[in-house]
Amino acid sequence: METLQQLGLFFGQTLIIVLAIVAIILTIASATLKNKMGKAFEVEIINDKIDEQKEALNSIIMTEDDFKKEKKRLKKEAKDENKNPKKFSYLIDFLKGDVEASAVDHLKEEINAVLTVAKKDDEVILRIESPGGVVHGYGLAAAQILRLREAGLQVTVCVDKVAASGGYLMSCVAHKIIASPFAIIGSIGVVAQVPNFNKLLKKHDVEYKEYTAGDYKRTVSIFGEITEKGEAKFREQLEVTHLLFKGFVGRYRPQLNMEKVATGEYWYGETALELNLVDKIQTSDDYILNKTKTHNVLKVSCEKKPTLSDKISGALSKSVSLTIDKLVRELGTKKQNLEIGNN
């Protein structure tokens, strides 16, 4: 009986939570639906962020008089800067480099925005983090960055953790590559992995047929028998891809000894510098902090906004999960108390 009461209480609480969530979401629905692109475009002034942090620290470590003097000095400095405004640098992040290079969609939008306002010789700083992935995805990402270079902008790539394979394909387009001491750089090579279950199918008397038109429409497959001819063609295609990779990198990094670095190996920052894979050892934070002394650094970001259905399903799932957890804990506590009482 008590359990039924608890279940009734559970469903009652859940219904109340659901109704409350729906009411809240409906109030913001009209604003959400106005964004037809479904993306949030934001510009953050990095200089202002740094100034706010500096002011917060100064308010603690300085005396009250010194803090007032410092604020006056900064105010005067800001007025002088308005008379002789700083140049602009644009910061774009590509920090979620998955296998499919799916972040290239956001990268495209961010580059489109920068190209509408940037002046020739302005700098674009790209922070890249990716271990690589599919050739066509990262080839497109590199082509997007190349648009900046072809527009006459200075392109600087900063790598704090990893820019390997497709990640390096993107990075090599820049005029300058900066890496942290232990960033993973390189991996100029091509890899393909194809599991094959043909022998397993034969063992269990499963017949698999594949129909193609063209000798090399399917060279190797998961279920079909891999022939010497098909495997040889597949290897040839890998070699062609590798040649294209090396040619692309060599076009923008002619100082590289391609025979030495295009082996598929990767190196850490310091060694990568010796091999001319990068131009400087420094963290992106340090580079950007120094840049704010001479430039206004604007971080440009464009990310997909969650849809109304995403918000509703996420909120409902979370509320139901929390309510169930609460009910389980309460029932567990009552059971434990009952067992103690029986003892």
d(CA 128, CA 209): 44
Task: Decide if 97 contacts 131 (C-beta within 8 A).
Answer: yes
Among 165, 180, 187, 284, the one annotated catalytic: 165
Quote the CA–CA distance of 47 and 307 in Å, as a whole number. Answer: 32
Q: Give CA–CA dist 303/53, Å, rounded.
A: 26
Task: Catalytic residue, from 36, 120, 203, 217: name it.
Answer: 217
As a whole number of angstroms, the distance between CA 141 and CA 135 comes to 10
Is residue 217 among the annotated active site residues?
A: yes
Would you name the residues annotated as active-site residues? Answer: 165, 217
